[in-house]
């Protein structure tokens, strides 16, 4: 429940009371004193979902909310018929009032100094987790990242036509993610300088970094869903703090990968992760905006329009910010479409080749490609294909067998890496085991091996070979 108080003139008081009684709300009226003796303070209890409709009806009756209006959380409330009122609004569209949304959004804007420091610290944690290949540490960096506030307030500023909120939020996003990248670069160079990590480390081979080397359709889906979830959490009774972790998951580790790529001199890693970072940021903002529009939020008459300028300097700042945003969107969109087309053709080529007779024993696990820029046509991107096989069969010609169709389909010279996930398949329970010596365990491989043979054991993704021990028949 919410406790709403507003100051109304004596002429408006009866109309206000009529609206509150229409909604069956509990209310009190306190006469003003001194200079306010011609006004009254009306306080009423209302479900959070009903604040917007009630204020809209009061506004239609001529109530001027700018005089004095406040909405507070009520930990405890009771009046005649409260259960009926709460039940009535329980199944209604669950959306807070636009005024509450605006106020809630402004309260989420962090202090600039604290924001930048927390972004730096979260990136240090993310960089450490990525280099250690530790998902737990990377998740910890998402928890402490304060990125959710600027992400949500930008969408609110756009949908409410609030120039100050939109421009400031976009600037905070740029400064925060820029600080994160710089922090990762400095931290990476520091680790190399003190010898904590090898200077020749192949960062692209680290699994948690490898999944953040290029944008994809899935990364767009994650960003859109994270932004939409954040908007729903903010505009309803959802948990914004939990959604903030999801938003940070799409951004903070990727910003750290950009810094790692720069620190280790890997331009492909840095460029691919940077495009992924910008694309994810755009997707999150778009998800927030579309969700707020879907929930019915529109500009207010009291909002300062995005294109309303008070001075030439202010106009230049706003126009420059919006122009840079549009330019970045256009460049990233072009790069993403090119990458998506390359990955689609690569997937088709690999799938078609692996389906041929010589490779019937193989199954595709993943296909990953480094970022392919439309502006660097001479580069050779690396395509990594992970396959499963249940035998020790070798396919030495497979990389070249994949290289040719991928190059033909994409028009780009590529480098193909093939890696295998080995596994051993158990025998069916309906299949009788082969004869074994009397009293021997039929599933004990040590009795069925010749001298000098080896056994194979799969531990994780590593196939271990070891000499077998022969057991003499008893």
> Whole-angstrom distance between the N-terminal and C-terminal Cα of the chain?
81
Task: Encode burial over 160-198: b for 16+ CB neighbours within 10 A, e otherwise.
Answer: bbbbebbbbbbebbbebbebbbbbbbbbbeebbeeeebe
Q: Which of 131-145, 315-329, 432-446 has the highest mean pLDDT?
A: 131-145
- The pTM score is 0.68
Q: Where are the domains of the chain?
A: 2-92, 103-308, 337-423, 445-474
pLDDT value of residue 238 = 60
pLDDT value of position 305 = 62
Residue 454 has a pLDDT of 41
- The DSSP code for 435 is P
Q: What is the pLDDT of residues 180-215, one digit of tens each?
A: 999 999 999 999 999 888 878 888 888 888 888 888
From the options 3.40.109.10, 3.30.70.1350, 3.40.50.1360, 3.40.50.10490, give the CATH code of 337-423. 3.30.70.1350
* Segment 123-157, tens digit of pLDDT: 999 999 999 989 999 999 888 888 888 888 888 88
- The reported pLDDT for the residue numbered 450 is 42
pLDDT digit string, tens, across residues 380-437: 888 888 888 876 677 888 888 899 999 999 888 888 988 888 776 666 555 555 555 5
48 pLDDT exceeds 50? Answer: yes
CA distances from 385 to 215, 318, 418 (A): 17, 46, 5
**How large is the average pLDDT for residues 79-100?**
69
Residue 452 has pLDDT above 60, yes or no: no
Long-range contacts of 312-315 (CB under 8 A, 24+ apart): none
pLDDT classification of 443: cutoffs 50, 70, 90: very low
Mean pLDDT, the chain, integer? 78
Confidence at residue 474, expressed as pLDDT on a 0 to 100 scale: 42
pLDDT at 180: 93
CA angle, residues 314, 315, 317, in degrees to nearest 5: 65
Highest mean pLDDT among 17-26, 64-73, 360-369, 406-415: 406-415
Residue 455 has pLDDT above 50, yes or no: no
CB count in 10 Å sphere of residue 277: 26
Q: Which helix (H) or strand (E) holds 107?
A: helix 98-108
pLDDT in tens, 340-380: 888 889 999 999 998 888 887 788 888 888 878 777 766 78
Distance CA 43, CA 22 (A): 15
Q: Which CATH class is domain 103-308?
A: mainly alpha
Do the first three CATH levels of 2-92 and 337-423 match, i.e. the same topology?
Answer: yes
Instruction: Identify which of 337, 344, 364 has the alpha carbon closest to the alpha carbon of residue 410.
Output: 344
Q: How many alpha carbons fall within 13 Å on the CB side of residue 54?
A: 32
Q: Are strands 2-9 and 39-46 parallel, antiparallel or unpaired?
A: antiparallel
CATH class label, 2-92: alpha beta
Average the pLDDT over 218-246 and give the result: 80
Q: 192-198 — which CB contacts under 8 Å span 24+ positions? A: 192/263, 192/264, 197/131
Contact 149, 285 (CB under 8 A): no
């Amino acid at each position: 429940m919410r406790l709403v108080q507003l100051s109304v003139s004596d002429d408006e008081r009866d109309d206000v009371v009529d609206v509150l009684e229409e909604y069956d709300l509990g209310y009190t009226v306190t006469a003003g004193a001194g200079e306010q003796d011609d006004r009254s303070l009306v306080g009423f209890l209302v479900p959070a979902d009903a604040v917007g409709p009630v204020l809209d009806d009061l506004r239609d009756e001529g109530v001027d909310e700018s005089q004095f209006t406040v909405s507070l959380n009520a930990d405890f409330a009771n009046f005649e018929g409260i259960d009926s009122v709460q039940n009535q609004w329980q199944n209604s569209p669950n959306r807070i009032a636009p005024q509450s949304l605006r106020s809630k959004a402004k309260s989420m804007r962090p202090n600039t100094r604290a924001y930048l420091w927390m972004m730096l610290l979260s990136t240090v944690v993310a960089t450490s987790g990525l280099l250690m290949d530790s998902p737990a540490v990377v998740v910890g960096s998402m928890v402490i990242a304060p990125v959710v506030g600027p992400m949500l307030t930008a969408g609110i500023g756009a949908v409410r036509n609030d120039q100050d909120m939109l421009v400031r939020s976009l600037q905070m996003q740029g400064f925060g993610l820029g600080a994160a990248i710089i922090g990762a670069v400095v931290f990476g160079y520091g680790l190399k300088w003190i010898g904590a990590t090898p200077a020749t480390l192949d960062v692209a081979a680290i699994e948690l970094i490898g999944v953040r080397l290029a944008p994809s359709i899935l990364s767009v889906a994650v960003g859109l869903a994270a932004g939409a979830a954040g908007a729903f959490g903010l505009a309803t009774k959802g948990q914004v703090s939990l959604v903030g972790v999801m938003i940070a998951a799409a951004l903070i580790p990727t910003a750290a990968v950009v810094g790692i790529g720069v620190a280790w001199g890997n331009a492909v890693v840095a460029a691919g992760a940077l495009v992924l970072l910008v694309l994810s940021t755009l997707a999150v903002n778009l998800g927030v905006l579309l969700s707020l529009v879907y929930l019915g939020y529109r500009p207010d008459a009291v909002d300062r329009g995005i294109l309303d300028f008070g001075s030439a300097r202010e106009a230049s700042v706003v126009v420059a910010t919006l122009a840079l945003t549009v330019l970045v969107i256009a460049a990233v969109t072009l790069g993403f479409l090119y990458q998506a087309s390359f990955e689609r053709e690569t997937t088709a080529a690999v799938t078609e080749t692996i389906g041929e007779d010589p490779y019937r024993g193989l199954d595709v696990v993943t296909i990953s490609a480094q970022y392919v820029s439309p502006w660097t046509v001479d580069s050779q991107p690396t395509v990594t294909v992970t396959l499963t096989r249940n035998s020790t069969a070798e396919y030495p010609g497979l990389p070249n067998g994949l290289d040719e169709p991928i190059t033909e389909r994409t028009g780009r010279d590529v480098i193909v890496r093939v890696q295998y996930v080995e596994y051993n398949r158990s025998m069916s329970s309906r299949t009788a085991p082969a004869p074994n010596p009397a009293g021997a365990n039929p599933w004990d491989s040590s009795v069925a091996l010749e001298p000098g043979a080896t056994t194979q054991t799969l531990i994780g993704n590593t196939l271990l070979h070891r000499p077998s021990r022969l057991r003499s028949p008893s």
